[in-house]
Amino acid sequence: MAKALYLVIHSQNNWWVDFEGTPHGPFATREAAALDARNLARVRVDGREAEVLVPDGEGRYWVIWSSRHDQNEGGGFVPRRIGP
């Protein structure tokens, strides 16, 4: 089963959360969008593993939250960069 990915993106001078083509926002900061993405991912009910991806200052995406590690309040989870 495919993962549910919540992407934080910057568009039109605002931050947004994109989930499967549906935008949520706008948000004034990347951090506010990331927190909302995590909250949206936590309430998923379809059984898929979920991840929140947020770009750094250079535009490289990082997985900052994963439902796989959420049962222990994030215990053992280390953010990781996607790609080179």
pLDDT tens column, 7-44? 999 999 999 999 999 999 999 999 999 999 999 998 87
As to burial, measured by CB atoms within 10 angstroms (0-12 exposed, 13-18 middle, 19+ buried), residue 33 is buried
pLDDT in tens, 53-74: 999 999 999 999 998 886 655 4
Amino acid at 5: L
- pLDDT at residue 46 in the model: 84
Cα–Cα distance between 67 and 84 in angstroms, integer? 24
- Strand ranges, E, within the chain: 4-11, 14-19, 22-27, 50-55, 61-66, 80-81
